[in-house]
Homo-oligomer: A and B are copies of this chain.
């Protein structure tokens, strides 16, 4: 499977666009199964080569020893208690708060952090807790991460794309608020990946972040700042996370160890602001609400997995910087190689464009023709390469000529071959296009 399987949900009312996107995902899973030898740029998985599973498992007793020393108890007794049910909101909150502050620059304290079964659970809990009344909607950029699309669809909550084509997200928020208000609806949250966005690879500047925060504060829209790729910056200065720029208590920060350690730890978090739009009681109520909802879904996040993360954080003295450096180097080399191969295969004037992400796992390619379900199939069958149509992440038809290329979990040789094969597909497709008008 490439990514979480998606099908038309029962109980929600997916739009036609939803259904199209969902069927594309099923189709992609089939493509992966039917053409296992094809080089895949579809999967945004972290590179497995850097998973040090054995060492991380062996480090779990380090966390038991830490708790035993802290509480003056026997380590075996501590291990058994970790094996038990535990606090809904988490066990290793203190260590995670230190790491988020150190590595992501996120102001954080243990009591404002809810440990979740991966970041996806945090997203599901937050969206449902914040959108409790009919007419409550979630804003998002367009295209957007499929995890938020799925959560909203299953919960029957509308996801409203911001019309920020001109690049001014703050203005687009004002526009959306006015439109929704006229329909008796209200945006409660804005979902964003400000750094190295999935699917586009783009990063919001500090000025854009501040403007978005001001707009959200004006309308009491909670920013759900998802930051899975923040530690994978290859160059340039990092703008502060929105949680650090937040002067109003507008940001719930979402973190995960799926990319910095590995997905199988299934440990993420939500960090609620100290005062939600200036209201400390509202902040405590939101933390409580997330806990109640979590207690009826996963009860608490596996304390064994938390102990594994805790053992790593203790070994690394609170920062994952040293640990992620080799993986970051790999991702950077892959991006550089991907860009170099694109430049070599698509010379100037050939009507194919792309962005240069400063970090993360993804880049966006622009084609002179629509790239959808049929094209993926042709790519896989005839060219042995599988890119992901950006339309899969879109809430309208605006992304039909775009492609998401993931460079995270492939080798340089696969990039060389895969980009060449994709370029051949593009050249063949352009050559076969019946008429030239309409192309720039």
Contact = CB atoms under 8 A, between A and B. Distances in A.
A428 B298 CA distance: 41
A49 B11 CA distance: 44
B88 A5 contact: yes
A217 interface: no
A272 interface: no
A265 interface: yes
Interface in A54-87: 54, 57, 60-61, 76, 79-87
A388 to B, nearest CB: 15
Interface in A109-142: 117-118, 120-121, 124, 128-129, 131-133
A293 interface: yes
Contact of A297 (B262, B264, B297, B304): B297
A154 B293 contact: yes
Interface in A261-307: 262-266, 288-289, 291-293, 295-305
A387 interface: no
A303 B266 CA distance: 9
Given A11-B133, A120-B297, A264 B86 contact: yes
A61 B56 CA distance: 13
A208 interface: no
A10 B296 contact: no
A53 interface: yes
Given A49-B80, A289-B9, A301-B266, A87 B296 contact: no
Nearest to A148: B296
Contacts of A5: 88, 288, 291-292, 295
A10 B60 contact: no
A308 interface: yes
30 contacts: A1-B87, A3-B85, A4-B292, A4-B300, A5-B88, A6-B295, A10-B129, A11-B128, A11-B129, A11-B131, A11-B133, A49-B80, A53-B83, A54-B79, A57-B57, A83-B263, A84-B262, A117-B266, A120-B296, A150-B292, A150-B296, A154-B292, A264-B302, A264-B303, A265-B302, A265-B304, A266-B301, A298-B298, A304-B305, A304-B308
Most chain B Cβ neighbours within 10 Å, of A6, A45, A46, A118: A118
Most chain B Cβ neighbours within 10 Å, of A4, A48, A88, A154: A4
A210 interface: no
Contacts of A302: 117, 264-266, 302, 305
A151 interface: yes
A117 B120 CA distance: 13
A240 interface: no
B57 A9 contact: no
Of all A-B residue pairs in the complex, the 7 with the closest CB atoms, nearest first, are A4-B295, A150-B296, A11-B132, A10-B132, A83-B262, A51-B83, A266-B302
Contacts of A124: 296-297
A147 interface: yes
Interface in A210-266: 258, 262-266
Contact of A264 (B84, B265, B289): B84
A289 B83 contact: no
A262 B304 CA distance: 10
A263 to B, nearest CB: 4
Contacts of A264: 82-86, 302-304
Contacts of A121: 297-298
A292 B9 contact: yes
A255 B150 CA distance: 26
A27 to B, nearest CB: 15
Contacts of A83: 48, 51, 53, 262-264
A3 B86 CA distance: 9
A5 B289 CA distance: 10
A1 B298 contact: no
Given A53-B79, A132-B11, A85 B299 contact: no
A84 B48 contact: yes
Contacts of A301: 266
Nearest to A22: B292
Nearest to A79: B53
